Amino acid sequence: YVDKSLLIDEVNSVMLTENRFMCVTRARRFGKSVAVKMLNAYYDKSCDSRQLFSNLAISQCPSFEKHLNRYPVIYLDITDFLTKYGGGNEQIVDKMKHDLTEELLSQYADVTMTGNDDLMDLLVKIVERTGEKFVCLIDEWDALCREGREQGMDEYVELLRRLFKGSQTDYVFSVVYMTGILPIKRYNTQSALNNFEEYTMLSPAQLAPYFGFREEEVATLCAQKGMDVAEMKRWYDGYQLGAERSIYNPYAVDRKSVV
């Protein structure tokens, strides 16, 4: 295990600011999904995860107590929708909106939809009723895009635009954090989602240490397992991302450790 919990402090630092829209893109097997699940466990007000984080680095940060289990969280794994409904289903975006709406209505029974209300209208009503802004976490945001269906892509981008670039977006969301393989610009959606700060393989900025294993972390793991760190580096030399000298793919390191 490698402690990447300080990523939480980075996300906390943009909470309720103009920089609250984050999109992290990496190749597969760099821990994107694990990071999203960690954020979900930390922010979600429906659970008490203090013990889970009490021995991790984030627990020493001033922001830890301020945001721990304080928010209603919308957590979406877009690949789940593809598995459930099939990537070729032309109504998949409508089904996503339907499922989200039904779940929200089940959790907020005192909030109702009327007339032409859509998903965003429902979220606004919930925030008005509760006074609590949402944290939104989306894993594999580009999964639908990678299916190559133009119609579905357009509808999906319109949904994201309605949620994250409208006049009431700041009112509804405390922070929005998305992951994917390819950047938003890859799909010509920058005009629709240009409020997102993108943290890519080539431009990871301050998030570089939190995806993949750093050289120091790999050395510690090798010491624990009685492995030759030089042999590990020879076998898998890693990537150089931002200011990080070497970043190793965690999956590859784990495979080598059991060979």
| pLDDT, tens digit only, all 259 positions of the chain | 899 999 999 999 999 999 999 999 988 888 899 999 999 999 999 999 999 999 999 999 999 999 999 999 999 999 998 888 875 666 889 999 999 999 999 999 999 999 999 999 999 999 999 999 999 999 999 888 776 555 577 888 889 999 999 999 999 999 999 999 877 755 665 566 889 999 998 889 999 999 989 889 999 999 988 888 888 887 776 677 778 878 888 777 766 554 4
Tell me how far apart the 2 most distant CA atoms of the chain are, in Å.
Answer: 66
Provide the Cα torsion 93, 98, 103, 107; round to 10°.
120
Res 147: pLDDT: 66
Residue with tokens 């940060």: 61
Closest CA to 97 of 44, 152, 175, 36: 152
Provide the Cα torsion 75, 43, 202, 143; round to 10°.
-10
State pTM to two decimals: 0.90
Residue with tokens 């190749």: 27
d(CA 256, CA 259): 5
Is there a contact between 21 and 196 (Cβ–Cβ < 8 Å)? yes
Give the SS3 label for residue 77.
strand
